[in-house]
Amino acid sequence: MSNKAELSGVVCAAVTPVDAAYRINVAALAAHCDRVLSDGCSFVSVFGTTGEGASFSTGEKAEALAALIAAGIPADRQVPAIMTPVLTEAADMLAAAEAQGCRAALVLPPFYYTDPGDPAIVAFIDAMIDRSGASDIDLVLYNIPRFSRISFTPALVEALLHRFGGRIVGIKDSTGDLENSLTLVRNFPDLAIFTGDDRVMPALRVAGGAGMIGGMPNLFAADAVRILGAPTSQETEALRTASAQRIELVDGNGGLSAIKAILARAYDDPEWTRLVPPLSATPKPAVDAILAGLAKTGYALEPVA
């Protein structure tokens, strides 16, 4: 583990551009990942919730991951997500992430069956690792019960650590609940605890958290990096306030569809607005209203070459 980069900082949960046939546009994704890394993100996490990861097959994602690395996005700065309840698909994605040399994999629990119980979740991850043949890649647990309906509670995390030891290196807590994130920090000081929420990040960082894995760095990576570096300073006080307002504005108006719509304007490329059905694009009047609201936080839309 000592030869691996520290797992901390701002991790951009990248959105996924697609073509008219809903195929992953690797060239556009690579250019976007390069930009957010250049803006200070420590890592990128492709094919998570913000990246519509549940809308693509493992084959599509594994192929795109390899192409993304070939296009110049370093594997050791990637934490791709595993977003499937299908054991073989999850194992294949884990195998692909390790084969490409990715820093870690972000693992969503199997989300179809209601309340399978902690032993069953441990069994799924055990079988995923065994079937994948992946023996080295680190795992970050993805706690987003709003979608998965399964929580990585302290008891479940303890069970996973007992079974897998050092393979579990972190948790992304996307509950948006500061106290839940702080509980994870207190209970698991050796794990990298991330939030998915800009509003939680400063207090989490002060308490010893690792940073954030979230969607807003698609738009505001440099600002998030500044806040992480000075989570309580007067220098970033206005920026922290603006960051909280921005996530409320974007998440309240479509979340990832709003992010894609803003990127479409910034990149002067309307194809960025496209989402894989059943998700749909944010209407233009709503995008105009979002941009007007963002302007009040000090954000000025500037075209990106």
Catalytic pick from 61, 142, 260, 267? Answer: 142
pLDDT tens for each residue of 17-44: 999 999 999 999 999 999 999 999 999 9
Q: Which residues contact 202 (CB under 8 A, 6 or more apart)?
A: 227, 231, 232, 240
What's the pLDDT tens digit per position in 62-95? 999 999 999 999 999 999 999 999 999 999 999 9
Q: Judge whether residue 50 has pLDDT over 70.
A: yes
For the stretch 171-195, what's the b/e string if a residue is b when 16 or more beta carbons lie within 10 angstroms of its beta carbon? bbbbbbebebbbebbeebeebbbbb
- Residues belonging to the binding site are 50, 213
Q: Which residues are annotated as a binding site for pyruvate?
A: 50, 213
Please give the Cα distance from 78 to 42 (Å, whole number). Answer: 9
Cα 213 to Cα 12, 92, 205, distances in angstroms: 6, 23, 13
When pLDDT is averaged across residues 198-213 and rounded to a whole number, the result is 97
User: Catalytic residue among 61, 172, 267, 299, which?
Assistant: 172
pLDDT score at 3: 65
Domains by residue range for the chain, with CATH: 9-231 (3.20.20.70)
Q: What would the pLDDT profile of 277-302 be if each residue is shown by its tens digit?
A: 999 999 999 999 999 999 999 888 77
267 is catalytic: no
- β-bridge mates for residue 105, sequence order: 139
Q: For residues 284 and 53, what is the distance between their CA atoms, to the nearest angstrom?
A: 25
Residue 83 contacts residue 108 (beta carbons within 8 Å): yes
Residue owning tokens 């970033």: 236
CA dist 46 and 27 (Å) reads 14
Q: Is 61 a catalytic residue?
A: no
Cα dihedral 37→41→45→49 (10° resolution): -120
- CA-closest candidate to residue 64, choices 35, 42, 97: 97
